Structures are given as C-alpha cells and as structure tokens.
Structure 1
Amino acid sequence: DLWSIAPGKPSMEMFLISAILAALLLAPFALKTFCPYAWMDLLYFGDLVRILVRFVSRRRRRPLFFALDRFLEQSSAHPDRPFVVFEGESYTYAYADKRSNRIAHALRSHRGYEAGDTVALFMGNEPAFMFTWLALAKLGSPVALLNHNIRSKSLLHCFNCCKARVLIAAPELKEAVEDVLPSLMEQGVTILLMSKQCDTPGIEGFSDKVDQASDAPLPRSLRSQITFKSPAVYIYTSGTTGLPKAALVNQNRLLTALVVLSSNGVKTNDVIYLNLPLYHTAGFIIGFIGSIETGSTIILKRKFSASQFWDDCRKYNVTVIQYIGEVMRYLCSTPKKDNDKDHKVRLAIGNGVRAEIWREFTRRFGNIQIREFYASTEGNVGFVNYAGKTGAIGRVNFFHKMLFPYALVQYDTERDEPIRDANGLCLEAPRGETGLLVSKITDIAPFVGYAQNEEQTEKKRLRNVLKKGDLYFNTGDLMRIDEDNFIYFQDRVGDTFRWKGENVATTEVSDILTISDCLKEANVYGVQVPGHEGRIGMAAVTVNKDTPFDGSKLYDHVASYLPSYARPRFIRIQNAVEVTGTFKQMKMKLVEEGFDPGLIQDPLYILDDRERSYKPLTAEVHSAIVSGSMKL
C-alpha cells in the first residue's frame, strides 16, 4: 500500500513515481531544447489530417459537392453577412447569390451560349468578376480567367487555347476587344460587354439583360454532367517558352483549394483585404475561393496601392492581408508614420518575401503573423512555413513527404537540365545545397497539364528521376533545405523571370520585339536591380541593316503588344546575338553583365515612359538607379 509507506523509508514504487513525474515536467523543456519544432510539427500534422478528412468526406457526398456548393451553403447560412465590399458598397452573400442567378439566367437565354460552354472572363478586380464566375459555375461552364493587361496576339492566343465560345468583358476593356474583334467574329464567338448597351457591331451590351433577368435559383441538373475531373477554371501562367499557357484547374483541385485559408487560421469573422489580381492563382483561389470556405468578408480593391493600403485596413477593420514579395517591399518603402502599427491586421498570407523585408515589415507594422507558403498554379506540391521561420517558404517533414513525395535534385544551370549519374538517374542535392525541386506525380498529387499544349505539358514531366520508370513534376524552381528542415526558394530556372509580381516569358517578349520594323534578333532576359524584387526585363538585340534603331517607334510597338511589366526596360544593341552549338541563345553572361554602361561597350537604352521612347542609358542614369533615387 503506497499510502502507508513510512516517512523516511523510500520505496521502489515511490522512486518510479518521482522519476515519471520528473520526466513529465522536464519533457517540454527537453523538446524545446533538442526538438524545438516538434510541437509545431505535430500541430501541422493534425491540420493535414483534418484537411484530408474534410476533403474525403466532401468527395463522398452525393450529389457531388464542389466549391460552388460551399458558397451556396454560406449564402444559405449567413445571407446577410457582407461577402464583398468594393469602393464603399457592400454586397451580402444573399445579394451575390441572387446577382449570379440573374447573370446565369440572362446568359442561359442568350442564343450564343449553351450550358457547359467554356467562357472567357476579361475583367479587372470588381464584384462583377466574382458574380459572373459564380453564375458560370451554376451553369456548369469552365471559365478562362484572362489577364486584363494582355492585348492583341497574346489576347487572341489566351482566348483560343481554352476553346472558349463566349467572351464576357468589362466596359473599360472594350477597345482591347475591338482590336481582336475581326478574328473573334470569324470564329463565331459571342462577345458580351458588361454595359447596358454597345454601339460596336459584333459586341453586345449585356448588363441590361442581367438587370431584367430572374434571380430564381438555377436547377442543379444544369451541372449534372460535371465530375471532379471536369475543368473548373483556366489560369494562365507564363512558362519558359512561348506565349502564356492555360493551366487547367479541375473541380477536384478547386475543392482542395477551399481549405487553404481555413488551414492557415482564418475564421468566419475575419475581414480579408484582397488587392491581388483575381485572374491570378493567389487572388482567385486563395483570396476569393478561400474566403468562400471560411465565410469571411472580402475587401476588394481594383489594384494594389501602397499609399492607401493601411488606411483601407483601418477603415474596414481588416484582420487578414494577402501579399506577394513586392507588396511587402512597397509597403516598407512608404514614408514612416506614427500610426503604422494602428490597425487590426493579425495575419499576412502569401509568398515571395525576402528575409530582410520580412524583418522590416514586422518591425515597422507590428506583431503580424506572416504565413509564407509555396505553390504554383499547375504544380502538385506545396509547402507552408507554419513555424514562422524568417525567410523560409516552408518546413519539410516526414508526414508531408509521405503524402507528397518530392526531392531536390542537382541541376546544371549552364546546360539547363538535371545532373544524372551513369545509370541515367538524377542525383539528389546534399542537405544545405541548392537543387531543383521535383515532385512525384501520383493520384493524390496529380499534374493535369496545360490546355491545348501537350508539348509544354510534357516538358514539365521529368522521367527516371530516382528510379527507372518513375514520373515527377518539374517545378522549375531551385530550392535549398537547411539543417533544421526549413526550405528556401533560391531562383527560377529556364527563361522565365518575375517582375512586379508577374511571371514574364522571355520567348514571348522576344517574339514581339522581332516583329518590329527595326529589330532582327532579340535575346530577352531578366537582370537584378538594387532595391527591387525579382528581375527586370532587358533585351540584347541586333538591328536591321536598312532600318535604323528608332527609340520612339520601338516604344510604341512594345506598348501596343505588351503589358507594362513585360516591356524590356533596357535595350542592348549588339552586332550579333550569341548562341550555343545547338542554337540556344546564351543568357548567363548577359545576365551577369547587367546594364552598367561603364562595363558594357555596346550601346544601351532605357525605356522612358514620360518621353514615350527608348533613350540612351547614361552613367548618370545608371548611378541614379543603383543609388535608389530613380525607381523602376
């Protein structure tokens, strides 16, 4: 009997009890010392299990349950809750539901549309974008989310590669549509403008028909043919070559994406500030679709404004913000104010922020939890920095790798390919060294590919990686894993660079430059600029013998074909464009030389928006850029 042990006479039982109690008391300290992230790993594993259970339960529901059905649940449960606030106007979940019903009925009665047709949405950030997508989802139509900055050749390409039959455009994009109208009319495309009327033959005003349509619910039978493998949206991504590619996001992937915000701690009563483009994965899937899952309120902005950002957050009691690396840097570059920490923002979700910007952001704007993650539109692997390690894009662990097998393999940046051994298999990068991130293609982690582009789809497949016959997705991203299992983004491979939050395909820009009157060849690449995120566009070009270089004409040409972020900021005129023995353009040396007129003998020019021309790049201008007194 333990309770009858005489004082001063310790027993084996008492010793064991004391040892167990001591171990229990010391365990938290030991874990914190020797395994500081163990508790966070367990919590994250718990999140993964909850996400999986929720996903599986939704997959088993009949009739089939999609992202749209989650919106319908929210609008039924919280009809009067604000869904989106835009330019001072608040629209409830019930209003969004009814407005989307009107759009769907108006479209359904139009002779140029049949339920299930693919529709291209050509709009900026506005509630009509969201309402129209909901309407099309109710009709069972896949939606191509067109970048509202694209024009001419790129616009036609993006429209055609998803086989859309209908184009719905915002009124302010009427001229862009008119530029490609003859080609669209030849194809018999139905073109609807979200205005009450339109006097351009071939383009119909549509909003008046929406206003007159019924707001009654749409029959579920209209989307009865939809399966989990059916396309939900096409999101465009610039790859290493060619024009933008349409990444197919099917219904299953969209259903998975529903939990992104909630798994990061976002709640129903949160107010989310969405100022990233809705045609992008971040804006559409994380901001818009993620908010549908949580039933949160979205504060929608047409575009990012550093000067208005915190005033908006204070005005609307924003609690969650989205970011890309450039957003953080722009905010840190604004003049400091006494009320910088006067806000209710508690959480920032995004990717691409550098460690020094991360530290400056939290130092200046307060104790905001930064939830950095890694993912791509078409990719099959992602990471979350749930531990909050500054500068990391995520943390790797056994549980994650078990569900989503991946590897970092050694990469030859000169040959632009993975390094393989004598057996033809890839070599894994040692811990702490940079390698190419590849992720195994499985039923749980599929790679669907790009619409109407099997060539580019195949280029993203990597075979015989760790053993003969295996198949991996090539992310095109170079990563590094440290000794504490945190993973860091290092760089992109291939011909894509990122500027102003946009991926720019060098081949597309090169194609545009070489159809100008004065240029014969163009080698496009990205160069780093001090104080700026990403890489800015530069082109090494050769000039036609019988057509002299004209900076004004070239400016007009690139301005008519390319959005501002894709226009080469610097031009370097060469006698010949250097190529390899296999005729690949050589970029590495050009990238290293940058745009310094003190080091480069070739003529250099800089894009001048005020003069609407390419002007000579002088030593004084270069010095102003490097010092930061001149912003690009």
Structure 2
Amino acid sequence: MPHSKSLKLLFFSMLIKTLICNTPHFAAGASHFSVQALKKEITMEIYISIILASLLIIPFALKTFSPYVWMDIVYFGDLVRILVKFVARRRRRPLFFVLDRFLEQTEAHPDKTFIVFENESYTYACTDKRSNKIANALQSHAGYKGGDTVALFMGNEPAFLFTWLALAKLGSPVALLNHNIRTKSLLHCFNCSKAKVLIAAAELKEAVEDVLPSLIEQGVTVLLMSKHSDTPGIQSFSDEVEEASDDPIPRSFRSHITFKSPAVYIYTSGTTGLPKAAVVNQNRILTALAVLSSNGVVSSDVFYLNLPLYHTAGFAVGFIGTIETGSTIILKRKFSASQFWDDCRKHNVTVIQYIGEVMRYLCCAPKKDNDKDHKVRLAIGNGIRAEIWKEFLNRFGNIQIREFYASTEGNVGFLNYVGKIGAIGRVHFFHRKLFPYTLVKYDTERDEPVRDANGLCIESRKGEPGLLVSKITNLAPFAGYAQNEEQTERKRLRNVLKKGDLYFNTGDLMRIDKDNFIYFQDRVGDTFRWKGENVATTEVSDILTICDCLKEANVYGVQVPGHEGRIGMAAVTPKKEVQFDGRKIYNHVVSCLPSYARPRFIRIQSAVEVTGTFKQMKVKLVEEGFDPGRIQDPLYILDDNAKSYVPLTAQIYHAIISGSTKL
C-alpha cells in the first residue's frame, strides 16, 4: 500500500491537471476566437488555474511536511506582540512598573473580586486600600526609611500580597523568605538581602525568636503581623496597620526606582552552599506580566493559586501574571490533592497552575465519578512527566496543558505551545535569533562542559543530550545573586562558541528531537529536586554534621519508582566511639531542615569516599540506591511515627518499591 505522503502528492498532481485541462477553451464552442487570442486566453487561464491550485495545495503541503508551521507563526506573532507591548511600556514616562499595571486594573474595575481566601474575598479597590494602610503604617514607623529592603516571612495569605504591594508603593525591594526555613538558613537568607526590616506572620513568631539575638545585634526592626507581642525586640504591627490611613501613596515615594532596581529577591538552592538570593529587578518582573496573558488567560478567568508565594511560580506567574490579566485569584495556604477539585468546582476555577508533583498527586488521589465535572480549561506549569500528562488528560478531561521551561535567575525560556506530550517547548529560528542559546556536550563525571582543542565548547547534535546555555545580552541579561559573586560567576560560562563570548549556564541537560521539540533530561551538579523544591546537598550535609554524633555526611538524591524527582539520602560516618543514634539525628533534621530536604534514607559508612581533589563521590552511591539486598552497609529510614531513623528492612524496601508505602 502506498505511503500516505505519496498518495497526497498524487492527489495534488491530479488536481493541477484537472484544473488546467477543464478550462472553457478546450470546449468545441471556442472556434469564433482568433488563434492568437485563443493562445493568450489559454495561457491566462493556465496561470490562473496554477495559482488557484497552489492556494489549495500550499495548506495541505505545509500540514503534510511542516505540521507545526501555523502554530509556529501564531507563536511568533504572540512573541512580537509581547515585545511591542513591553517596549511601549518601557518608553512610558514616568516609568511604568508592575505596580502601575495593578493601579490601572483597580481604576478600570474597582469592584471586581481580586483575591478569594478561605471565607473572605477582596476586590481590587479593597486590596489597594489595604496595601495603602500597610504602606502608611510602615513609612511612619521609626525603624523604616524610604527605599529600605524589607524581608517578608509569611505563608500564602492575603497579607503577603497586600504587603508586597505596599512595599512596591514605597519603592522598597522585598526579600521573599521561604517560611519553612529555620535558624542558620533563615538568618543566611535574611542577611543576603541586607534587609533592614523583617515582617513576619504571627504563626512564625517562634522561628523569628530563634534568630532574634542576631537580628537585634544588626539593628533590624522586627514587625509581627499580630495585634500583640510580648517578646522584647518583636513589635506588633497589625494594630498600627488598622489605625493607619488608607490614603494613596504619592508617586514621589518611589521616584528613585529604575528598571535596574531590585524588585524582589527570590531564593534558589544551588549546587553548593546555602540558598542563593536571585536578584529580580524591575525590568525582569515587568516581563513576568506577560506569562499568563501570552497563554490565553483573560480577565474573566479564575486562577487557582496553591503554590508557595515565595517561589517564582507562585509569585511571578500566579500573582504578577493575574495583575496583567485582571483575573480573580483563588488563594490557598498550600496544595491539597483532596481539596483541589472541590475548590475548583466551588469557585468555578478556569485556570490552574502546577509543578510536576502537583499533577502526580492529583492522579494518585482516589478516583471519583465527578473527576471531569469542572470548568478548568487550562493548566500552566512545568515539570510534568509524559506518563502523568497522559493520565491527567484521560482522567480529568480535555484540559489544555501549557508546559514551559524557565528559572528564577535564568535568561532563557521555552513554551510548549503545540501541546506535544513530554516536551518542555519547541525551538525555532526566530526564538534563537532573539534569545541565542545552544546545547553543548557535558562531561557529567568531571562536572564541566566538553571543550575542543581551541578551548571552545562542542555543540550537541540533534537527539543528543547537552547542557543548555544561553547568551547573556541586553535583551537576555543575568543579574546574578545578591552578596554572592562566587556563585554568580559559577553561572557564567565563557568562550562557548567563540573567544570572549559570555553565556548563562542553566545547569540543565536538554535534548532536541528531529521535529525541534526540546526535552528536559536532568540537572547537573549536586542539586536534586524533591516535592517541587530544589535541595542543595552541601547545605544538608552541613546541617547533618552539626549533629555531635556524625563526623561526615555525603548527601545525594535517589530515584524511587512512581515518584517525581529524587529523594534525599545520606551516606554518613559516625564519630569514633560514638554509636549511631537514630532518634537524636531525627530530632536534629526535623528542627533544622524543611520536610522536603530531610534525608529519608541514611547509609552508615566507615569513611566517605572522595576523589583526588577531595570531592565527595556520589555516582556509585546514587546507582546503588537504598536496596538492602544490594548494600552491605547498615541502612536506616526516617520514620515519623517512631520519631527516629529505624533500620531499613527488606520488607520496608519492597513496600516502597511496590508503591504500597508512599514517601
């Protein structure tokens, strides 16, 4: 049987012949024309027929040989539209920022609901006035000076959004602290931003008290979102906010702000050390306005926001994105698989946001008869595996999934506007011209790009995995990390394709297929991802070795069937003449590390293996995983019920592998 493409070509050929041969002048009644006129008429008819045939053929040919070309054209049009709008806003005077877009939306529809949280709702006008009260209360506070950097230590709640808007009105950069971090990590993150003020949620008072002596020593003003505080050095702030005026804040308060001024500090875990504060300037956050609108989100949409606001996904995509579209936010304290679809039905949600784990949790929840009974039409996010993608669509209905790739500090991104399952985006000529990038060969053992005899990187061929690097330009800048030039320099890659060039090292391995779809392969270095969070192994190792019974700790991530990312495991060496104390280590990691960063498995070794340059060896450990049948060393597993690390038996191991025990 002929190939389908051959049949289509045969059809096109026959169509042309039919159009040409059936012109009127091949009929017998054409004898009254002169021979010359007849020739001209026939020639003209042939040209017209060919043009008509071509108009019919081109769409079919494009669909056959370039099935994504129309989507590419539409995407390029969207890209141009976004750039035109961005440039127009850049040229406005006085300078136009995200806050100004919020004020435009408030003026356009003041009574429209902006935020719904638990049993309360807030209109755009109400949100504006509440942020004014916070701004007026803060600017009259003795511990604050205009433009001071302020650290925000809160979970997902309306006060988080009100406070950020208030600080934007005062022209203050904001450090978005992860509300899960404690002690050393908390103090480190706070200090990175050089903040002068800390505003914390009432429920985080104890965490603040743990680092209070250091904050007091630095002269930091600590404000608690409560009406009362009995701790010296922590001032109540809610009472001041309630008494403050809701009068608008004059534009002059933020007249010192430029596009290069820091807007927020968002923390990201690197391959080594404690979290790094990525500097997100006003220009970059202005571009974030386009994320939702470029994916078809409009004012009438209802957006479900259950990802952490201290993360780029929740803050920049969810919050900032809805400011541009003028949509309504359904704000949740945290993700809950059991409440997710009931919330969507209750609030008529039309757009949801995800990271890979969110989709997996939803698919793992017990099936219900009303799984497809909802109004969700669009899901935007990143990190969804191909098999979960398929399962999600089969179970929850025809929801358009817009998978994208981006990073907090990175200067390149991709969007899977085609909907190709498993891909993070599609690459094409126009995208690469605007934002030059490439994939280069990477030596995972030496943890560095492969270079040729001239010292330049070697580009990966199609189908081969390679390290994604993106050229640093005025259109695609890299602002770096606050107070951390060493880590900033580590992300800069020089002499990539020619001497003297400068690229951003994403730290991600990618692959591009023959149809120009790009796929995420893995992360390089020591960072692994678990439950949607990046875990820096060096940070966890440092925390573990603080415990007085451990000498060394080598932390890495291991894969578990049915789970996204890698879960933490540590190969540890106890101190001489000190026995491993599972209960003591459990208490230590629970008090010092957020749940996603706690090593679930511990392997006892007599010595941690290192390379000739004293780098901890992980490859073999990662390959061996946590199978007690394969590993002779003692193995332990974190047990929250026993509040201890208990021996990992073959029975427990098989329960995990079979999926009967979830991690």
TM-score interval, normalised by the smaller of the two chains:
over 0.9
Tell me which residue corresponds to 1:53: 84
Rounded to whole Å, the distance in 2 between the matches of 1:96 and 1:613 is 45
Q: How does 1:166-177 map to 2 (within 5 A)?
A: 166-177=197-208
Rounded to whole Å, the distance in 2 between the matches of 1:90 and 1:509 is 40
2:632 paired with 1:601: yes
Percent identity (aligned) = 81
Rounded to whole Å, the distance in 2 between the matches of 1:239 and 1:449 is 12
Q: Which amino acid aligns with 1:397?
A: H
| 1:6 CA displacement | 8.4
2:360 paired with 1:329: yes
2:611 paired with 1:580: yes
2:496 paired with 1:447: no
Rounded to whole Å, the distance in 2 between the matches of 1:541 and 1:6 is 91
Rounded to whole Å, the distance in 2 between the matches of 1:608 and 1:224 is 54
Q: How does 1:68-467 map to 2 (within 5 A)?
A: 68-467=99-498
1:489-535 deviation line (CA, Å, top 9, x unaligned)? 00000000000100000000000001101100000000000010000
2:503 paired with 1:472: yes
Rounded to whole Å, the distance in 1 between the matches of 2:593 and 2:61 is 58
Q: Matched residue of 2:291: which SS?
A: coil
Q: Matched residue of 2:115: which SS?
A: strand
| 1:546 CA displacement | 2.8
Pick from 585, 591, 598 the counterpart of residue 622 of structure 2.
591
2:565 paired with 1:552: no
2:516 paired with 1:482: no
Q: Matched residue of 2:290: which SS?
A: coil
1:341-370 deviation line (CA, Å, top 9, x unaligned)? 000000000000000000000010000000
Tell me which residue corresponds to 2:15: none
Contact 1:323–1:349 under 8 Å retained in 2: yes
Q: Matched residue of 1:261: which SS?
A: helix
Rounded to whole Å, the distance in 2 between the matches of 1:51 and 1:242 is 37
Gaps of 5+ in 2: 1-22, 31-40
Contact 1:608–1:615 under 8 Å retained in 2: yes
Rounded to whole Å, the distance in 2 between the matches of 1:421 and 1:430 is 15
Q: Which amino acid aligns with 1:453?
A: N
Pick from 495, 517, 535 the counterpart of residue 566 of structure 2.
535
Rounded to whole Å, the distance in 2 between the matches of 1:130 and 1:451 is 23
1:128-176 deviation line (CA, Å, top 9, x unaligned)? 0000000000000000000000000000000001100000000000000
Rounded to whole Å, the distance in 1 between the matches of 2:62 and 2:378 is 27
2:34 paired with 1:24: no
Tell me which residue corresponds to 2:12: none
Q: Which amino acid aligns with 2:503?
A: Y
Rounded to whole Å, the distance in 1 between the matches of 2:496 and 2:572 is 37
Q: Matched residue of 2:79: which SS?
A: helix
Rounded to whole Å, the distance in 2 between the matches of 1:539 and 1:193 is 37
1:412-458 deviation line (CA, Å, top 9, x unaligned)? 00000000000000000110010000000000000000000000000
Number of matched residues? 630
Rounded to whole Å, the distance in 2 between the matches of 1:5 and 1:52 is 53
Rounded to whole Å, the distance in 2 between the matches of 1:313 and 1:88 is 15
TM-score, normalised by the number of residues in structure 1: 0.99
Rounded to whole Å, the distance in 2 between the matches of 1:30 and 1:6 is 29
| 1:197 CA displacement | 1.0
Rounded to whole Å, the distance in 1 between the matches of 2:627 and 2:225 is 47
Tell me which residue corresponds to 1:503: 534
Q: Which amino acid aligns with 1:608?
A: D
Rounded to whole Å, the distance in 2 between the matches of 1:331 and 1:33 is 37
Q: Which amino acid aligns with 2:214?
A: S
1:241-269 deviation line (CA, Å, top 9, x unaligned)? 00000000000000111111000110010
| 1:7 CA displacement | 4.7
C-alpha RMSD of the superposition: 1.0
| 1:27 CA displacement | 1.5
Q: Which amino acid aligns with 1:144?
A: A
1:561-608 deviation line (CA, Å, top 9, x unaligned)? 100000000000001100000111000000000000000000000000
Rounded to whole Å, the distance in 1 between the matches of 2:641 and 2:179 is 23
Q: Matched residue of 2:294: which SS?
A: helix
Rounded to whole Å, the distance in 2 between the matches of 1:4 and 1:170 is 83
| 1:23 CA displacement | 1.2
Q: Which amino acid aligns with 1:22?
A: A
Gaps of 5+ in 1: none
Structure ID, larger Rg: 2
Contact 1:168–1:191 under 8 Å retained in 2: yes
Rounded to whole Å, the distance in 2 between the matches of 1:202 and 1:559 is 26
Rounded to whole Å, the distance in 2 between the matches of 1:536 and 1:482 is 29
Rounded to whole Å, the distance in 1 between the matches of 2:494 and 2:619 is 27
Contact 1:517–1:547 under 8 Å retained in 2: no
Q: Where in structure 1 do 4 or more consecutive aligned residues deviate above 2 Å?
A: 3-10
Q: Matched residue of 1:192: which SS?
A: strand
Tell me which residue corresponds to 2:8: none
Rounded to whole Å, the distance in 1 between the matches of 2:77 and 2:27 is 46
Rounded to whole Å, the distance in 1 between the matches of 2:25 and 2:636 is 92
Rounded to whole Å, the distance in 2 between the matches of 1:84 and 1:610 is 38
| 1:234 CA displacement | 0.1
Rounded to whole Å, the distance in 1 between the matches of 2:434 and 2:479 is 18
| 1:547 CA displacement | 2.1
1:291-324 deviation line (CA, Å, top 9, x unaligned)? 0000000000000000000000000000000000
Rounded to whole Å, the distance in 2 between the matches of 1:551 and 1:517 is 12
Q: Which amino acid aligns with 1:371?
A: R
Rounded to whole Å, the distance in 1 between the matches of 2:86 and 2:119 is 36
Q: Which amino acid aligns with 1:152?
A: T
1:162-207 deviation line (CA, Å, top 9, x unaligned)? 1000000000000000111111111110000001111111101101
1:600-623 deviation line (CA, Å, top 9, x unaligned)? 000000000111100000000000
Q: Which amino acid aligns with 1:335?
A: P
Rounded to whole Å, the distance in 2 between the matches of 1:445 and 1:545 is 52
Q: Matched residue of 2:303: which SS?
A: strand
Tell me which residue corresponds to 1:36: 67
1:212-260 deviation line (CA, Å, top 9, x unaligned)? 1000100000000000000000000000000000000000000111111
Q: Which amino acid aligns with 2:230?
A: D
Q: Which amino acid aligns with 1:462?
A: L
TM-score, normalised by the number of residues in structure 2: 0.94
| 1:25 CA displacement | 1.2
Q: Matched residue of 2:509: which SS?
A: strand
